[in-house]
Structure 1
């Protein structure tokens, strides 16, 4: 009999909602987490595997420290064809890292895919359930505007590009509230991890 594969939980949330903190809580609970953003940074950082290919496609956008994000951003901004070329380089490499992650954690009962733009770009394909990290709008706003270099204009531009929080919560299988005390959020994460990780060969459903 083939052993059951891990239950795959997609984790997402809009800017300032506390997704990174929740991902860390899943790790603390012993759940393997694949961080898509971290994978991209590794691939595009110093000595990153994708630097030669990115430099060939977008000359002058890489250096000793890896990808020069402002330059690369300028090279693809507003140019759908250029963005498609970049995604054709990055996405397969991230998918390969995710496949290795699954191989390394094949014995786990639960794994988490941390996907910032899950509803905006990647979709729910391949996931067993989706958890959305959410907080009240005024708390989200205060968190984001406290970040260095952030302005109201930048914040509003980012929000305009993201699926609204209310819509994400409506599409979610689970909602993790970070608008409460951190211990309460941590307890909710542990409870969800235990619930999804406790199985007898069949995948739990929401």
Structure 2
């Protein structure tokens, strides 16, 4: 089984691209969705202990947590130390299940893939990218997004240029969904051909 790591900076179209891979029959795990679930379950008491007052009725209040993080960016590290091991455990279980199902491909959608060293746990990395102008337009059109929030998120993410340099494949998302779908299909065809030749981990 070939394990694909999918990443891309905010607003680049990563979520849409993950759906395109899923539509082609690839097993996909959305790490953001896993985090949301953890905030409702096992991570909640740990986060409340580290950041008192950030949970309501045993569930992490993302607004309150966001305020704490904005007050002191160093708190991101403390949060990641709690959440990342739990996410990794879920990823391992997902990959084991996909392997047992005999899947040809499994994809981990990881926003901070390079930033957390997760590229070492996948076979190939796909980076989703678009122009800074398109990225900015997409992000600032989101409900509740501000210039300040956008800047804070970008500050935590590896620059797009560096992501592109380190990618095995790039999906250019600025030309519409169907164009991106064609790129996804081409990537899967290339990986399948490499797998048949035994080159995937080369």
Please tell me the TM-score bracket, short chain as reference.
0.7 to 0.9
> How far apart, in 1, do the equivalents of 2:181 and 2:4 lie?
17
The two structures have a TM-score, normalised by structure 1, of: 0.85
CA contact (8 A) 1:31 1:193 kept: no
**What secondary structure does 2:120 align onto?**
coil
Of 58-67 and 161-170, deviating more is 58-67
2:87 counterpart (88, 94, 100): 94
Of 186-195 and 19-28, deviating more is 186-195
Match of 2:117 in 1: 122
Question: Structure 1 residues 154, 62: CA separation in 2 closer, same or farther (over 3 Å shift)?
Answer: closer
Q: Offset of 1:166 from its aligned partner?
A: 1.5
Query: What are the equivalent positions in structure 2 for 1:1-206 lying under 5 Å apart?
Result: 6-45=1-40, 48-64=41-57, 66-76=59-69, 77-78=71-72, 80=74, 82-106=75-99, 107-198=102-193, 199-200=195-196, 202-204=198-200
> How far apart, in 2, do the equivalents of 1:153 and 1:75 lie?
15
CA contact (8 A) 2:7 2:110 kept: yes
RMSD: 2.2
The two structures have a TM-score, normalised by structure 2, of: 0.86
The answer for unaligned runs of 5 or more in structure 1 is 1-5
Question: Structure 1 residues 189, 65: CA separation in 2 closer, same or farther (over 3 Å shift)?
Answer: farther
CA contact (8 A) 2:11 2:138 kept: yes
**What secondary structure does 2:114 align onto?**
helix
**Is the helix fraction higher in 1 or 2?**
2
> How far apart, in 2, do the equivalents of 1:85 and 1:161 lie?
14
CA contact (8 A) 2:44 2:58 kept: no
> How far apart, in 1, do the equivalents of 2:90 and 2:182 lie?
30
> How far apart, in 1, do the equivalents of 2:31 and 2:197 lie?
27
Superposed CA deviations along residues 4-36 of structure 1, whole A, max 9, x for unmatched, are: xx2111111111110000000000000011111
Q: How many aligned residue pairs are there?
A: 198
